[in-house]
Structure 1
């Protein structure tokens, strides 16, 4: 019962798992940067505009047909 765990494959596996986690995190951050078009200030402006549309002060944009 005194078996040793192969050290090299374990280290390589951990390195691969760490690299994969790092790459997924980096890609997620890049995609958020590209597709997140609203920041906090713009989100507040959008909420106010939606409220104005709901109250009837503004009409929603509809492209000319």
Structure 2
């Protein structure tokens, strides 16, 4: 049985496992993670680099 409650939790966990290297400066954040927010018809995932403060965003539209 999965420890994640929704498909969105599973996707965030996937990003946390594979997408923790900053595309701007190359820093790999081993203890970081993606933040998730939603606004009705959109789910937004954000990673903020602790080294250079670059923001990486992924957005899913629900329709």
Normalized against structure 1, the TM-score is what? 0.27
Query: Whose strand fraction is larger, Structure 1's or Structure 2's?
Result: 2
The structure number with the bigger radius of gyration is 1
Normalized against structure 2, the TM-score is what?
0.28
